[in-house]
Structure 1
Amino acid sequence: MTDRYAAFHALHHGDRPLLLPNAWDHASAAAFTARGHPAVGTTSLGVAAAAGLPDAAGVLRAENLRLARLLRPLPVLLTVDVEGGCSDDPAAVADLVAELADLGVVGVNIEDGHPDGGLASPELTAAKVAAVRAAVPGLFVNARTDAWWLAVPDPLPEALRRARAYRDAGADGIFAPGVPDAATVAAVVDAVDVPVNVLHRPGGPTLAELRNLGVARVSTGSLLYRAALGAALAALDEAASAAGAGAADPPSYAEVQRLSGLSGRDPGAAPGGVRGR
């Protein structure tokens, strides 16, 4: 397991940012693995919505454990979005992460957004980070601040204060979703000496541009789940349309079946044995 932790850490120190696709079930994680991605994260929105549960409400403990158990055989490094750890008790958060680590998980996101829609105190989130760090040394702790996500007035100083507190508590990385522009991304990178993670924004900076800003990791968040729903609705609308304009061909039935048997295969091998990119 130590080698897997080290491998995941190393992905944050390459010559380009780690592009982390976020999965919500076995099929999506297997598909991303088959495309050659060495690591996959989970999206709390996708996991919650697929289970008929609300996101950001601290109710995904059982779902996260179930999904980690399901994804364990895949030949990929898995990091899990545990929101705020499903508890305001740092010891309980550490217990959850230790259970995930026992299932092969190599990283977690811990956020300071609170189920009431506000921000948890930085001291509480830092205590959670420290508890996880003590319980599972080596696991990558990505501490997320929602200062922009939750529209805090003048968010940059607050985000930097929180980022430094989480770093000092032992966070291996800082995740700042919602950062609005390149100058602000650079300010976050300059303020902390651990890898910085941002959210991919369609039409926003490219991976090359983010690399030049010093970003270490770029997550897709809920985008792929929402895109999948959008594609499903588009296909449904096309089926109902007299025009029958047609849409891009989805994966075939056989390809999806093969993804279900991906466990133990080369993570770069796409369905049918074709090398995926």
Structure 2
Amino acid sequence: MSRKVIAIIGSPRKGRTFEAVGMFEKRLKELGNIDFEYVFLKDVSLKECRGCGLCLEKGEEFCPLEDNRADIFARMMKADGVIFATPVYSLQVTALLKNLLDRLAYVFHRPCFFHKSFMAVVTQGIYGVEGVLKYLDEVAHFWGFKVCPGLGLTVFWEKPSAADLKKIDDEAEKAAKRFYDSLTRNSDPVPSLKEVIMFRSVRAFHSIAAGFPRDHQYYREQGWLDSDYYYETRLGWHKKLAGRWVERQALKQAMRDKMKLVESRLS
């Protein structure tokens, strides 16, 4: 069975980050049948987010910007695994990758990448890789991915020595094994107590349509207004009990907030 992987390259040039992903790709293909695809953000049309909020309020199809955002999203949805690759620029991802994350902000509200694997590949000259890996992992968690520990590498501006290349290749091999295991594992991770509490809190908010109408509609269509979690999973009694308690408290607060909003509109 072939697995499809898409690597989204956030670097403005084909340099050390691209080379690292190439090593990762080679090692990954040695483990099984992998269809590996690249998207170079420097070569696609992706306009800067205006912050208009239409993707949140009405839906992503109402975004006024005409470019390749929908195509990139569709290709990610068709993949079994997604890789975000970026060098560290000023202690963060590149502007190219950050703009893509901003343009996909609606996924934070309407997560959709469940059952798909994610890995970040981050390169640094001296410092910053850990912070960027943590940031991308957190984004991927919110979006629904099965998050695999990322590949963080220290690379050099000048041509790397044979010893440097060997070290990078060894790390790429380890990362490829982690990612392949995630790709081929049919089970989804059991959510933590924190994840259950977050789901039930957000669900309470949407259950009374206290937020954006599109979010309420999405949760209803996915069946999440009546489920224990985003997907079928076995939750211990303590997680279910904590989830119910938190949801009741969140529902009370959401009702109060909704009443205040109604009163302010009538005054």
Q: Which has the higher contact order (CA 8 A, sep 6+)?
A: 1
Bigger Cα Rg: 2
Q: Which structure dedicates a bigger proportion of its chain to helix? A: 2
Confirm or deny a common fold (TM above 0.5).
no
TM-score (normalised: structure 2):
0.30
TM-score (normalised: structure 1):
0.29
